[in-house]
Amino acid sequence: MHALVTQDDIDTFQRDGVVLIKGLFKSHVDTIRAGIERNMTEPGPYAAENLKEGEGGRFFDDYCNWTRISEFEDVIRNSPAAEVAADLMGSDRVQVFHDHVLVKEPGTSKATPWHQDGPYYFVDGIQNVSFWSPMDPVKGNSLRCVAGSHAWEKPVLPTRWLAETSFYPDEDAYMPVPDPDAEGMDIKEWEMEPGDAVAFNYGTLHGARGNTTTSRRRAFSLRLLGDDARYVERPGPTSPPFPGHAMKPGQTLREDWFPTIFDRKKPA
């Protein structure tokens, strides 16, 4: 077990689907910040601006850039994230799924909508973890996660953030997006320092308030997979799409695109 993780952390992650890991990327904050600036200067094909005309501020996000932004690859391969993920998931192996950058500039009132990541992905399995780490101190504009939502009977309907339309045609297979505040759900939220990380399951419902402060809110997310991850077909396009992947249902994800970065059974 990595020194950053306790058995209580593992138990909490398994029970609630979310736990705070202090200082996970503490030694890599400058590297991640540099990577984010490069990402914003040189956006990839999936980069998006998530505000409608007339909304103030800026809400930028982009994903799947670690193979072209060396700072992100450095962090993925050299930070403790992979071993910590293995501990939390109870997995021997850890594969990279993708990276994700989300930046809310000062005065951005738009909230990140409540959603689960899993329904957007072509991955099945319960051994997975997403790390969300701010590169600026956060208080009141941190990630918010609903404890236990990863164990709900039905997944939450995935929607397009800007258009607010359904992502898939079969709405009966999903539950409508709830209002956790109005419904009194157990929402976990922390004040965080740069390099701290919220670890949460792909099935955990989460969102974030807008950034009405006078400081930037830069966040780096890393999505990792465990032993039981398998490719699954969805009723529509997935996000990220990974065009041309050529995988078949039930297969493990291809190693050349989603490399193993930690294997407990192999010597270091």
* Spatial distance between the Cα atoms of 44 and 65, rounded to a whole number of angstroms: 7
HSE on the CB side for 217, CA within 13 Å?
28
pLDDT of residue 211: 87
Sign of CA dihedral 23, 25, 27, 31: negative
Q: How confident is the model at residue 213 (pLDDT cuts 50, 70, 90)?
A: confident
CA distances (Å), origin 250, targets 3, 34, 63, 233, 254: 34, 38, 25, 9, 12
Q: Which amino acid is at 83?
A: E
- Give me the chain's average pLDDT, please: 93
* Spatial distance between the Cα atoms of 81 and 198, rounded to a whole number of angstroms: 11
Helix axes 81-89, 70-78, angle to 10 degrees: 50
Mean pLDDT of 57-73: 94
Evaluate whether 36 touches 218 at the Cβ level (below 8 Å). Answer: yes
User: DSSP label at 254?
Assistant: P
* Spatial distance between the Cα atoms of 134 and 165, rounded to a whole number of angstroms: 28
Domains of the chain are 7-230 (2.60.120.620)
Q: Tally Cβ neighbours within 10 Å of residue 184.
A: 8
> What pLDDT, in 10s, does the model give residues 3-23?
999 999 999 999 999 999 999
> What pLDDT, in 10s, does the model give residues 127-174?
999 999 999 999 988 999 999 999 999 999 888 655 566 666 677 788
Is a pLDDT exceeding 70 seen at residue 44?
A: yes
* Spatial distance between the Cα atoms of 11 and 22, rounded to a whole number of angstroms: 16
Q: Which amino acid is at 168?
A: Y
Mean pLDDT of 169-198: 91
* Spatial distance between the Cα atoms of 81 and 97, rounded to a whole number of angstroms: 13
